[in-house]
């Protein structure tokens, strides 16, 4: 049941527990309990929403930064990754296989702000040996949701 709850919440985190219970044919109490456990176990980390940033005025800029990192004996990439993740400017931070080690996404108000964050903060972190910054020009899809066009799917409003 927990798996199904997670998949429903990923689709629409505004479903209330009663609605989830109706969909899963169980009781509100069971859903309350399962979600409380998912939260307590740190499986559900936050409830958020997907925004098409282009449609709001202060959309800022997003950059993908590939970092090469010299792993530390005993702690590997953890220490650097933790340090990077602690910056509020950092939206996500992942360890990659392949040529670069960490992929960091950074959001800022302007190119300049992001550039100086990369040069002044990220590049300076001990263990970071190189950075390669790529600015995102357009987002087409986010977390499985298309950001393209509008809802009209060609079906019209009513048909028999």
Partner 1 sequence: MMDYTSLISKTAREIKPSGIRRFFDIANTMEGVISLGVGEPDFRTPWQIRSAGIRSLEASATRYTANSGLLKLREEISRYTQRKLGLKYDPTDEVLVTVGGSEAIDMTVRAVIDPGDEVIIPEPSFVCYDPITRLAGGVPKIVSTREEDGFKLTPSALKAAISERTKLLVLPYPSNPTGAVMTREELYEIGEVLRDTNILVLSDEIYSELTFGRPHTSPAEIESLYERTIIINGFSKAFSMTGWRLGYALGPKPIIKAITKLHQFAIMCAPTTSQHAAIEALRSCDDKVREMVEEYDARRKLIVRGFCELGLNCTEPMGAFYAFPSIKSTGLSSEEFCERLLYSQKVALVPGSAFGAAGEGYVRASYCYSLMHIKEALRRIGVFLEELRS
Q: Contact positions toward partner 1, by CB under 8 A?
A: 8, 11-12, 14-15, 18-19, 22-23, 25, 153, 155-160
Distance CA 144, CA 12 (A): 12
CA 140 to each of CA 44, 52, 90, 95: distance values in angstroms, whole numbers, following the listed order: 26, 9, 21, 24
User: Which residue lies nearer to partner 1 by CB, 40 or 158?
Assistant: 158
Closest CA to 33 of 2, 76, 3, 62: 2
Quickly count: other Cβ atoms within 10 Å of residue 19's Cβ.
14
Quickly count: other Cβ atoms within 10 Å of residue 88's Cβ.
6
- 26 is written with which tokens? 């169980």
Closest separation in Å from C-beta 90 to partner 1: 29
User: Which residue lies nearer to partner 1 by CB, 25 or 41?
Assistant: 25
Q: Are 111 and 126 a contacting pair, CB within 8 Å? A: no
Closest separation in Å from C-beta 125 to partner 1: 40
Closest separation in Å from C-beta 23 to partner 1: 5
User: Which residue lies nearer to partner 1 by CB, 137 or 158?
Assistant: 158
User: Which residue lies nearer to partner 1 by CB, 96 or 145?
Assistant: 145
Closest separation in Å from C-beta 140 to partner 1: 16
Relative to beta strand 128-135, strand 102-108 is unpaired
């Amino acid at each position: 049941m927990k798996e199904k709850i997670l998949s429903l919440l990923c689709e629409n985190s505004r479903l209330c527990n009663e609605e989830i219970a109706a969909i899963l044919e169980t009781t509100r109490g069971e859903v309350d309990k399962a979600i409380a456990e998912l939260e307590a176990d740190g499986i559900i980390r936050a409830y958020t929403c997907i925004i098409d940033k282009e449609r709001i005025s202060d959309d800022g800029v997003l950059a993908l930064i590939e970092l090469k990192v010299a792993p530390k004996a005993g702690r590997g990439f953890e220490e650097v990754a933790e340090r990077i993740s602690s910056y509020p400017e950092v939206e996500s931070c992942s360890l990659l296989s392949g040529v670069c080690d960490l992929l960091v996404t950074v959001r800022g108000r302007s190119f300049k702000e992001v550039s100086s964050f990369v040069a002044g903060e990220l590049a300076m972190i001990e263990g970071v040996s190189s950075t390669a910054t790529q600015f995102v020009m357009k987002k087409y899809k986010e977390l499985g949701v298309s950001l393209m066009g509008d809802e009209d799917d060609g079906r019209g409003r009513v048909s028999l």
